[in-house]
Amino acid sequence: MKSYWKEILKIRLQLYGHRNWVVIADSAYPAQAAPGIETIVSQEDHRTVLDKAFEILHEWKHIQPVIYTDKELSFVSEEDAPGVTSYRKEFAALVEGYDVRRQRHEEIIARLEEVGESFQVLLIKTNMRIPYTSVFFELECGYWNAEAEDRLRAAMRLGEREAIPCMTKGVAQGSENLV
């Protein structure tokens, strides 16, 4: 059976922007009920899907992923989940150089549920059978960052109209015609 998850991911990423999420999930990840969460099944190896998802995400310059993993993954023992040590090493190599944020699984699920009320989330289930291996990509704007947004908001709070003189002049002149 052919898996279409790659094509679906590419189509969704054309539409997605900041505040959307993509999740590469293990096989036991629950189907969430929020209306914006779309769940598809890849029927492929988790590591293969994860590698390809990274590759596809990097093709799109309008978005930049922030990576989250379950905090619990660091504490899962090899005795309880054979293969977890190998997975952690492979994952660490894959995300080297990235800022990876770790949060408790329930916190991430709750956040996705909340996001799914207003924004789209694509969740791709894999055949992974090691717990807490889901990887969450929160999409941010690829051409605007948090520091620029903070400067913009600070300027707006301070009323610094000089920040963009041509717009300030146009607003002042145009405002006479609005009354």
Give me the residue label for tokens 């699984």: 105
Tell me whether residue 114 is in a domain.
Answer: yes
Instruction: Indicate whether 53 belongs to any domain.
Output: yes
Residues 6 or more apart whose CB falls under 8 angstroms from that of 95 comprise 67
**Res 173 pLDDT > 70:** no
Instruction: Quote the pLDDT of residue 165.
Output: 58
Q: Is the pLDDT of residue 178 over 60?
A: no
Average the pLDDT over 110-139 and give the result: 97
Q: Compute the half-sphere exposure of residue 59: CA atoms within 13 Å on the CB side of its CA.
A: 12
Lowest mean pLDDT among 13-27, 101-115, 163-177: 163-177
Mapping DSSP to helix (H, G, I), strand (E, B) and coil, where does residue 62 land? Answer: coil
Q: How many CB atoms within 10 Å of residue 140?
A: 17
Q: Which tens digits make up the pLDDT trace of 60-91?
A: 999 999 999 999 999 999 999 999 999 999 99
Instruction: With beta carbons less than 8 A apart as the criterion, state whether 38 and 122 touch.
Output: yes
Residue-wise pLDDT tens digits, 126-150 = 999 999 999 999 999 999 988 999 9
Q: Is the dihedral of CA 113, 114, 115, 117 positive or negative?
A: positive
Q: Among 3-7, 109-113, 144-148, 171-175, name the one with the lowest average pLDDT.
A: 171-175
Q: How far apart are CA 152 and CA 16, in angstroms?
A: 23
Tell me, what's the pLDDT at 146?
Answer: 87
Residue 173 lies in a domain: no
CATH code: domain of residue 72: 3.40.1650.10
What's the pLDDT score for residue 97?
87
Supply the mean pLDDT for the chain: 90
Asked, for residue 163, whether it belongs to a domain, the answer is no
Q: Report pTM.
A: 0.84
Label residue 176 by pLDDT band (50, 70, 90). very low
Nearest to 171 by CA among 162, 148, 153: 162
The answer to whether residue 164 sits within a structural domain is no
Looking at the structure of the chain, the number of domains it has is 1
| Residues 6+ positions from 105 with CB-CB distance below 8 Å | 70, 71, 72, 132, 134
Could you tell me if residue 137 is inside a domain? yes
pLDDT of residue 160: 56
Full residue range of the structural domain in which residue 35 is found: 5-144
Locate the DSSP E strands across 42-107.
63-70, 100-103
Residue 50 has pLDDT above 90, yes or no: yes
Going by DSSP bridges, is the β-strand pair 121-125/21-25 parallel, antiparallel, or unpaired? parallel
Half-sphere exposure of 64 (CA within 13 A, CB side): 9
| Confidence check: pLDDT of 59 > 80 | yes
